[in-house]
Amino acid sequence: MTQNENLKALSEAGVSVWLDDLSRDLIHGGDLQRLVDERSVVGVTTNPSIFAAAISGSDSYDDQLHAMAVRGVTVEEALRTITGADVRDACDLLAPVAERTGRDGRVSLEVAPGLAHETDATAAEAAHLWWLVDRPNLFIKIPATIEGLPAITETIANGISVNVTLIFSLDRYKAVMEAYLAGLEKRAEDPEASFAGLESVASFFVSRVDTEIDKRLDAAGADASLKGKAGVANAQLAYQAYEEVFSSDRWKTLEARGAAKQRPLWASTGVKNPDYSDTMYLSELAAPDSVNTMPGKTMEAFADHGQVGSPVSGTYAEAAAVLQAVSEAGIDLDDVFRVLEDEGVQKFAEAWDELTSSVQKQLQDKK
């Protein structure tokens, strides 16, 4: 089996290609292994929406659901048993990738969305999920809410790898990097503590930014040429911030101790507007030490006709000009990012509720 040349080129540009999807069928049917072999996939991310679709759309969970129904387990236990099993199996499948790369081969599992504004509960759930899956190539996803930031610090200090999710603004991204460094420094207070295997990524969302800003540009009657540009520009400036933080003296002290950089991860990279190139959030965000997690449809589009664009490091002045023009068109970017964070938490909470209801019904049906 040969790797697709377009995705291989993206990987060679320094981008870790991750799949934003997971199901039992994908794991045990051989498709995930095929993506590793043929599509340069070196990681997997999940969220409540992905698990809701997986469980409702397959009979692969029937035997396990029946066994749990007979035992009379709670819906909460059933949810974590099912999702934990899938993530554990995916971690095992990707273990050779983790061994080969040292950084990738990771699978992400999210804390319950209802805890997004509860610091202590988020940290406690992160520790529980880390124990439950019990694989070194696991990432625990924690949302980048104000309340999530100290939970990130605590979780990193405890030696648990974290995928920080739902980042939309530069200010919040800088706060996320600060939370990560603070966690590393807290861990470094123990001279016996190790940084071996401790990793983190910061998931910066892209397409949702364009969707919200484009809507507001239309409502304001603004220059149509500004549409479809803010998402990429915002991410490009995030990469500039990443370069600044992880070249600082503060970082070099931690790096000398063995700490790993918190890599930027481009999330929400499936294009929402059919008028835009279906690979724009991959082509225009190729950067060393970055991760791009993409739905299967977007991955196949890039495999078919994607091209690696210009280096992100040369785009900062133009990106800043784009966001300035958007602001001058009357768009309140702070409000955009606040709305997107609130909607993101709400959407994941709704998906979790849908997943809970679906599993509860199946438990009742299979008694």
Tell me if residue 288 falls in helix, strand or coil: coil
Element (H, E) at 108: strand 106-110
Nearest to 237 by CA among 154, 314, 151, 342: 314
Residues marked as catalytic: 141
19 sits in the region (left: phi over 0; alpha: psi -120 to 50; else beta) called beta
Burial of residue 66 (number of CB atoms within 10 Å: 0-12, 13-18, 19+): middle
Calpha distance 253→336 (Å, rounded): 36
Nearest to 307 by CA among 1, 2, 5: 5
Taking each helix axis from N to C end, the angle separating 75-101 and 31-38, rounded to the nearest 10 degrees, works out to: 30
Q: Spell out a b/e string for 256-292, using b for 16 or more CB atoms within 10 Å of the CB, else e.
A: eeebbbbbbbbbbbbbeeeebbbbbbbbbbbbebbbb
**Residue 16, strand partner residues:** 291
The 3-class SS string of 110-130 reads: ECCHHHCCCHHHHHHHHHHHH
CB neighbours of residue 37 within 10 Å: 13
Calpha distance 43→107 (Å, rounded): 6
Residue with tokens 């280096």: 311
The three-point CA angle 182-149-288 to 5° equals: 70
What are the residues whose beta carbons fall under 8 Å from the beta carbon of 235, sequence distance 6 or more?
204, 206, 264, 266, 285
